[in-house]
Amino acid sequence: MNISVNLDALKNDERETLLRLIGKANNPMKEEFVCIKQRKDKVTWEQLEEIIEAGKAKEFFGGKGSISVEMEGVGVAVFDIIGYDAEKLAEDKQHSITLWMRNLILDKMAFSTEDNNKWEESDIRKHINSEEFINRFETGFRELICPVYKDNGECIDTVDRFFLLSKEELEGGYEYINTEADRVKVDENGETDVHWTRSASRGSASGTWYVYASGLVGNISASWAYRFSLACVIAR
């Protein structure tokens, strides 16, 4: 697992505290952490778990950061951090990191082949929360994923392990999504593309919000097949 850490954002005592947290694990799988500013460093999932549990994740990452995860059929999937302790957790855990997949590397899907815009009944939700899909991710990552309560506006609230961001979450709901540019996603070829949100548009049984290639948000029929960007929460 590779993570991006901005050590410039840490004070000396904070840096020393975090290095002690990383160094205290005696796991045979432990990897060396090299303190070099603004580079990608390797820690084990066990070490990341300790950092989250101690409530030090934001200091460790220096705010913005990313985590690389092995995914069957994809290779390495990069998740960007969009928030800390920002979720209503469905398990008894204290601290969390909200992650959003950086690129559109998953196949296109209809939000609903039945043209239904309710997230709780959508094909995408069923697919990304299936055991078959979740098991494509490496074990250490899966063990940190925490189900969360999601507000779906006029639709039923859900408890999800993986989810899509809502229209409201994309428009100021997270600390690190503030502009249209923050919502832009590219595919495996580096081309910008549209992607689904989980939000239903009002006054329609099929209209579903999605993000244009430019980062603007619009709505279209749920039966269309578009890319989507996973979000999830890791917590301890």
163 and 218 inside one domain? yes
Mean pLDDT of 19-25: 57
10 and 53 inside one domain? yes
pLDDT reported for residue 202: 82
Which one has a higher pLDDT value, 31 or 2? 2
193 and 229 inside one domain? yes
Residues 6+ apart with CB under 8 A from 57: 51, 84, 95, 97
**Cα 97–chain centre separation:** 8
pLDDT reported for residue 38: 39
1 and 32 inside one domain? yes
Q: Is residue 75 part of a domain?
A: no
Cβ-in-10-Å burial (0-12, 13-18, 19+) of 54 comes to middle
Lowest mean pLDDT among 7-11, 103-107, 154-158, 163-167: 7-11
Chain segment 117-144, per-residue pLDDT in tens: 999 999 999 999 999 999 999 999 999 9
224 and 125 inside one domain? yes
Q: Is residue 72 part of a domain?
A: no
pLDDT reported for residue 18: 61
Q: Is residue 214 part of a domain?
A: yes
Q: Is residue 37 part of a domain?
A: yes
94 and 55 inside one domain? no
42 and 148 inside one domain? no
CB count within 10 Å of CB 85 equals 15
Residue keyed to tokens 């979740």: 134
123 and 35 inside one domain? no
200 and 94 inside one domain? yes
Three-class secondary structure of residue 195 per DSSP: strand
Nearest to 80 by CA among 197, 234, 223: 234
188 and 101 inside one domain? yes
Asked whether residue 100 carries a pLDDT value surpassing 70, the answer given is yes
196 and 99 inside one domain? yes
User: Rg of the chain's alpha carbons, rounded to an integer?
Assistant: 18
Asked whether residue 148 carries a pLDDT value surpassing 50, the answer given is yes
Residue 2: phi, psi to the nearest 5?
Answer: -105, 140
pLDDT reported for residue 156: 95
63 close to 6: Cβ distance less than 8 angstroms: yes
* Structural domain span for residue 157: 85-235
Nearest to 56 by CA among 105, 8, 2, 96: 96
For 12, 116, 161, 162, 215, the CA distances from 232, given in Å and listed in that order, are: 31, 23, 6, 5, 21
User: How many domains are there within the chain?
Assistant: 2
* Mean pLDDT, rounded, of the chain: 89
Instruction: Please state, in angstroms and rounded to a whole number, the distance separating the CA atoms of residues 186 and 206.
Output: 26
Beta strands in 112-206 (DSSP E): 148-150, 158-160, 162-163, 185-186, 192-193, 195-200
97 and 19 inside one domain? no
Q: Is residue 91 part of a domain?
A: yes
- The DSSP annotation for 102-121 comes to SSB-SPPEES-TT----GGG
